[in-house]
Amino acid sequence: MLTGLSEILSVLGLVGFSVVALWLLARPKARMVALMPAPQLLTMTAVATAMWCAALVQFGPGSSLTFVVQTLRDLAMLGWLSATFWTAAAPMTRPLRLILRMLMTIAVLTLVLGAAAYWRAGAGAEPWMAPTLVFAAMIVAVGGLLIVDSGVRHASAGLRMPLMAVAGGFAMLWAYELNVQLIGALTGKTASTLIALLPAVVLMTLPTYVVAAMDIGRERMRLSRTAAMRTLTLLGGAAYLVVIGLTGAIARLVGGDYAELAQGASLVVALGAGGVLIASARARAWLSVMISKHFFEHRYDYRSEWMRFTATLGQGDGEEDCNLHRRVAKALAELTGSPGALLMVLGAAGSFRVADQWHWPVDVDADDATLSVRSAFMLQETRHIVDLDAQRRGPAGSDGAGEDLALPDWLLADPRAWVVVPVLHFHRMIAVVVLHRPPVSRALDWEDLDVLRIAGQQAASYLAESQSQAALSEARRFDEFNRRFAFIMHDIKNLASQIGLLARNAERHADKPEFRADMVETLKISAGRLSDLLVRLAPRARGAAAAAGRVLIEPVLNDIAAEARSRRALFVGCQAGLAAWADAASVRQIVQHLVANAIDASTPDAAVQVVGVSEHGRARIDVIDQGCGMTRSFIRDELFKPFVSTKDGGFGLGAFEALQIAQAMGGAIDVDSEPGKGSSFTLWLPLADAKDGIGTDTPMMKVASQ
């Protein structure tokens, strides 16, 4: 049943590839040339594959004659790969050219030798020709896989994706055949089931011929470094299996106990190599350098490296990476494979000192762990990334050739120090990173310099932003202090006016005992208010609503009336037992300001009233004067703005500060005024009884004139 299925699939392959070959011949030549480098070779490959399918039908999948025709197919496939990947759009490296020439030579010799042997000896050549043909097919398959891998990787930016798909189909076919042949070499038995399914694998490659000859698939494909590394690993494993299979086959031909000896030697070599790679970081680093140098066009996988670099700068992996300085050092070190790094920032004396380290223990407080002002200036001006090994040999071999960078002795004397990277932000050096020597030391090339330079600029933006945030925070603290001081200056001005008025009255009434007693009381009150102002200047002064509690309004109003007695008698009326939920000192400060403004706005004989009542579940304090009044536009646009005042020499902060304090206590200030008719300022505060859940509304009011 399996044999019949194989024959059916082979017939389908013969018909399919024959039709594709005829269709390719019928396609316009100009259109085909525009789509691929050598369309004739693709047609020849389809014809050779059709002939191979015919051989599968005629002689069977495992026949030596089929292998001879398979060699013709492989030769056509190698020719198409040569024409596709050996072009200006897809340049082939020199080692691959040599491999390609060698494979084509082996294929031609195998084809000629097989055809001659069966022409002269017929079936008698089967015993000695079969192993030769299998061995040659294995070599061609391994070499073809190498060419496809490297060709697709280097040509991914210059060729259409369907051409990559054709090459991938070749690789799939060769990989399948190589596995079948390796299984046979390792087990000593023919994998008849896998061989019978070979035509199915061939049919899977048929659509790629059609797609490659059509004007579709203009997308570009780029093989990632991870996929390339895995492909190399698989090819290395395939090469190892090939060696094991050949060793086993040779041992069986020689006879004796050589087979067991070969198995033991192979196991020892494999375990030894694996153990060295696992245990030795230096061996792993050396292997990584060799692979990057000889198998990849660039040393760095820029996409993955940049994503890791940005992620390290943005947020650390653990608690030890919470410091931005350490994250910058770590990000630059991981970029170049360095096991550690130092980060130096500008100190108070103008020199750069070690601020933090990553996996490089160093005494950050040591006096010699600095970079002098001259060294920092030279690095900033030249913007050079310094290879310290070249500096140790002399300036002529460094990036800053011919320039004395005045690097400190402690840095040059430490063999661990490898590279100095200036971290520049808009031509200003804000940090210096010293990278630890990697396990496998190497000289810096142009790619290292470019990567470190652009990475340093990216890291500099993070450091500059951090410094700006710190400066902004400090500026905010100064701004808060200045704001507090401005408010206090306003209150000091009011106190100065009050004391000045007291001094003028003392000239006329100093001989009256009542005046002297009143003057002493006023001076005591003024001294207390000055002491309160000094407390408010403290950096950790409590907020306006920090001491919120039940405040009786009547005593506060009476005290304010007593303080203002020297300037004006106030008419105070307050609902008995009225209590607000607020801070007593803040309420006093607001009402004092409103009363002072009312006195300033009124004529000497005009009355000023202060009334406290409860209304709609809130405490209401009205300060009413008969002064000049204010326009609606002034109240709306300027009254509560800072530094806007109608008084000569005024600061324009009183109303602004009063509103801020009231709002901080959950209150508000309303104003009702008309020009020439006076003003009424209303302070609204939360009612203490409502806060406590007691809904009292006492209609009694105590009125006094003080």
Q: Residue 325: which CATH number?
A: 3.30.450.40
**DSSP for 388-447, written as a single string:** HHHHHH-GGGSTTTT------HHHHH-TTEEEEEEEEETTEEEEEEEEEPPSS-----HH
| pLDDT value, residue 686 | 92
Q: pLDDT class for 705, splitting at 50, 70, 90?
A: very low
In a domain, 452, yes or no: yes
* pLDDT average, residue stretch 229-252: 65
Do residues 601 and 463 share a domain? no
Of the pLDDT bands very low, low, confident and very high (cuts 50, 70, 90), residue 329 is very high
**Strand boundaries in 591-706, DSSP class E:** 608-615, 618-625, 668-673, 679-686, 701-705
Q: Are 692 and 572 in the same domain?
A: yes
Q: Work out the mean pLDDT of the chain and round it to a whole number.
A: 76
pLDDT at 340 over 80: yes
Phi, psi of 152 (to 5 degrees): -65, -40
Last residue of a domain, one of 206, 223, 240: 223
For the cut 70, the answer to whether the pLDDT of residue 695 exceeds it is: no
- Bridge partner residues of 571 (DSSP): 609, 705
Are residues 563 and 691 located together in one domain of the fold?
yes
Domain-located, residue 292: no
Q: 650 or 458: which carries more pLDDT confidence?
A: 458
* Torsional class of 70: left (φ above 0), alpha (ψ -120 to 50), beta (otherwise): alpha
Maximum Cα–Cα distance across the chain: 151
Percent of the chain with pLDDT over 90: 13
DSSP assignments along 343-358, one per residue: EEEE-TTSSEEEEEEE
Q: Is the pLDDT assigned to residue 208 strictly greater than 90? A: no
- Residues 204 and 329 placed together within one structural domain of the fold: no
* Whether residue 189 is found in the same domain as residue 327: no
pLDDT in tens, 431-442: 999 999 888 777
Residue bearing the bigger pLDDT, 263 or 667 = 667
Tokens of 101: 């020439």
Over range 147-155, report the average pLDDT. Answer: 70
d(CA 44, CA 21): 8
- Same domain, residue pair 460 and 558: no
Instruction: Select from 236, 238, 78, 218 the least CA-distant residue to 148.
Output: 78
Same domain, 58 and 205: yes
Q: Which long-range contacts (CB under 8 A, 24 or more apart) does 360-366 make?
A: 360/416, 360/436
DSSP 538-594: STTPPPTTTT-EEEEHHHHHHHHHHHGGGT--EEEEEETT-EEEE-HHHHHHHHHHH
Instruction: Give, rounded to a whole angstrom, the gap between the first and last alpha carbons of the chain.
Output: 121
Return d(Cα 173, Cα 171) in angstroms, integer: 5
Is residue 526 a part of any domain in this protein?
no
Query: What CATH number corresponds to the domain at position 557?
Result: 3.30.565.10
pLDDT on residue 544: 42
Domain closes at, from 188, 223, 258: 223
Does the CA dihedral 615-619-625-631 come out positive or negative? negative
**The length of the chain, given as a count of residues:** 706
The pLDDT value given to residue 218: 45
pLDDT at 401: 45
Band of pLDDT at residue 616, cut at 50, 70 and 90: confident
Residue 390 lies in a domain: yes
Q: Does residue 387 lie in a domain region?
A: yes
Q: pLDDT tier at 87 (50, 70, 90 boundaries)?
A: low
Are 97 and 216 contained in the same domain? yes
Predicted local confidence at residue 669, as pLDDT: 92
Average pLDDT over residues 383-392: 87
Contact of 564 with 587, CB cutoff 8 Å: no
Query: Strand pairing of 570-575 and 608-615?
Result: parallel
pLDDT for residue 30: 65
Domain presence at residue 152: yes
- Mean pLDDT (whole number) for 213-237: 59
**Cβ contact 611:700 at 8 Å:** no
Query: Which helix H or strand E contains 370, and what residues bound it?
Result: strand 370-371
Residue where one domain finishes, among candidates 472, 490, 515: 472
Of 64-73, 165-174, 181-190, 537-546, the range with the lowest mean pLDDT is 537-546
Q: Is 283 exposed, middle or buried (0-12, 13-18, 19+ CB in 10 A)?
A: middle
Partners of residue 574 on adjacent β-strands: 612, 702
Q: Can you tell me the mean pLDDT for 265-294?
A: 61
Residue 250 located in a structural domain: no
Instruction: Tally the domains of the chain.
Output: 3
Same domain, yes or no, for 331 and 214?
Answer: no
| pLDDT score for 680 | 94
Assess whether 468 and 566 both reside in one domain: no
Domain that holds residue 436: 312-472
Structure tokens at 168: 């991938």
Q: Is 681 helix (H, G, I), strand (E, B) or coil?
A: strand
Structure tokens at 142: 């391994």
Higher pLDDT, 205 or 480: 205
pLDDT at 629 over 80: yes
Task: Let me know if 253 is exposed, middle or buried by CB neighbors in 10 A (0-12, 13-18, 19+).
Answer: exposed
Distance separating alpha carbons of residues 554 and 579, to the nearest angstrom: 8
Q: How far is Cα of residue 236 from the mean position of the Cα atoms in its chain? A: 35
Cβ 386 vs Cβ 405: under 8 Å: yes
Per-residue DSSP letter, 124: G
Q: Is residue 415 part of a domain?
A: yes
More confidently predicted of 156 and 333 = 333
Q: Which of 212-221, 557-566, 570-579 is predicted least confidently?
A: 212-221
pLDDT band at 175 (very low <50, low <70, confident <90, very high): confident
Q: Could you tell me which residue, 250 or 195, shows the higher pLDDT? A: 195
Q: Is 68 in the same domain as 191? A: yes
Q: Is pLDDT above 80 for 678?
A: yes
Confidence of residue 545 (pLDDT cuts 50, 70, 90): very low
Confidence (pLDDT) at 42: 84
Question: CA torsion, points 531, 534, 538, 543, in degrees to nearest 10?
Answer: 70
Is there a single domain that holds both residue 343 and residue 448?
Answer: yes
pLDDT reported for residue 167? 78
Separation of alpha carbons 440 and 209, rounded Å = 46
Query: What digits encode the pLDDT tens for the residues 630-661?
Result: 988 888 888 888 766 666 655 666 788 888 88
Sign of the torsion angle spanned by Cα atoms 408, 414, 417, 418 = positive
- The CA–CA distances, whole Å, from 209 to 18, 105, 610 equal 12, 26, 99
Residue of 467, 423, 463 lying closest to 325 (CA atoms): 463
CA atoms within 13 A on the CB side of 459: 32
Q: Which pair of structure tokens corresponds to residue 328? A: 């910058």
- Output the CA torsion sign for 205, 209, 215, 221: positive
pLDDT of residue 555: 92
Lowest mean pLDDT among 22-36, 292-306, 648-662: 292-306
